[in-house]
Each structure stands twice: as structure tokens, then as C-alpha cells.
Structure 1
Amino acid sequence: MAATDDFSKDNILGEGWTGTVYKGVLPDGSILAVKQLWRSSQSGKGLQAKMETLGRVKYW
């Protein structure tokens, strides 16, 4: 919650059909993306595949 300033609208990076993605900043200055999921009919396997894909994303 603190990293996204309580999911402030100012920190929205994007929205999709499964939720909203927010920019977050950790106390050490590290930047991350936080996805707040909405209720979805997506299966557990589909959600797991999406999270694995997101886990492989790297920014420099």
C-alpha cells in the first residue's frame, strides 16, 4: 500500500480486463509494478501462466 501511495490514481500505469497496474516505489528507491486484480473468471492455470510471464519481465 505504501509503495503505491494507497493505489493512487496518479500511479496508474495501465488497466486491463483482469485489473489495474500501478507504479510502486520501495523505501530503497526500487521501482516496481503492482497489479491489483479484479474478480475474474480466468482459470487458476490461466492466472498462473500470466503471473509467470510477468515474472520474466525485466527492465533496465
Structure 2
Amino acid sequence: MAVWTICIQKDSPGKAKESNWLPAPDGNPYLVMRLYWPKVEAPSILPPGSGSWGPPGVTLVK
């Protein structure tokens, strides 16, 4: 399984990490996932809360 590090922050994380940087405004961040019409067969988010797929976790790194 691949692990991706994406920096979501106001200031640049440095030239080496800018390709994975999503600039964000000041304040508390929130994430939104856009999911299109899901299928019922696995892997699926259905039924809500107990499907066979879920989004990857988010880790706060300071």
C-alpha cells in the first residue's frame, strides 16, 4: 500500500515538498471528500457506516 504525504498549510513547506503542498488559509482546517454515485458491490461505502471501504486516515504533524 502506498503512503502519500500531502502538506495542507498556509506557508510553503519548503521547495522539496511543494509538489505535495495544498495552500490553506489561516484558521481551523477542514477536509471535504467528493464521492460520486457509489456502487453497492465491494469495495463500496455502502451501507453508510459499515461498507467495505473507508477514506484513509489523516495525521496531524506539527
TM-score, with structure 2 as normaliser: 0.30
TM-score, with structure 1 as normaliser: 0.30
- Between Structure 1 and Structure 2, the one with more strand by share is 1
- Between Structure 1 and Structure 2, the one with more helix by share is 1
**Greater relative contact order: 1 or 2 (C-alpha under 8 angstroms, separation 6 or more)?**
1
